[in-house]
Amino acid sequence: MRENRVKKALKEGKVVIGTMVSEVRSPGIAQMLATAGFDFMVIDLEHSGFSIQTVADLILGARAAGITCIVRVPSKKGHHLLSRPLDVGAQGLLVPQVETKEEVVEIIKATKYYPLGQRGMALRRIHSDFVRKDALEITRSANEQTLIILQIESKKAIDGLDELLSVEGVDAALIGPNDLSQSLGIPGQTTHPKEIEYIGKMVNICKEHNVPSGIHLGSVEALKKWINEGMRLIMVSSDINMIVETAARLVRELREVAKNIKEGEVV
């Protein structure tokens, strides 16, 4: 398998920066994000209408562009839901709403080959670049290069994080701030002191286990804080937000000029 540069960077303690793709279906988005300097992109299957074919096409674009492609799966449960994005070439998974050690054990079982798990063996696929190699060589490489990220989105998950991170095969943990705020009874208040307290607790537990931590936010200033606190897996904005916010800014600036033009005036 290809080297997972994001996984390698995280092991070296480096900061990696990515974004979410939830709406744009063209494989060209991968090259755009790579050109912009992103290290990785996360294809969202949890909150989008993407089909597995769209996901496969986006992954091909990412592999061609040289940007690491991770898929956020729609559910933490279901062997096939977890393994199929890997079979079509994803270099990692972001698994949402993880809360118990038992769930993590099943996630690893579905996404890692023997001896770590029991992922279904379809070896001559895009994830191996269709090469014919010894099965043990492919499965060993896949286990080494596949990045498994737990999305931590509830008070329960943070309170039990020690157990979640004790399972072999977990590579990183990433906060979902909106769902976490809802779990804490302060929906949408992602800068509330209670939320900040729990995120800080998560970062410290991850440090104790030597597991990289991360978060997905729209605010660069907030992300700077968490990088300085020790987070290394950084997700900023999304295809939707970047398009809408940039377009809105351009239109707003032009409207500001246009309002000073007298009606009927021809230059």
Q: How many Å apart are CA 69 and CA 33, to the nearest integer?
A: 11
CA 175 to chain centre: 10
Q: Which residues are catalytic?
A: 47
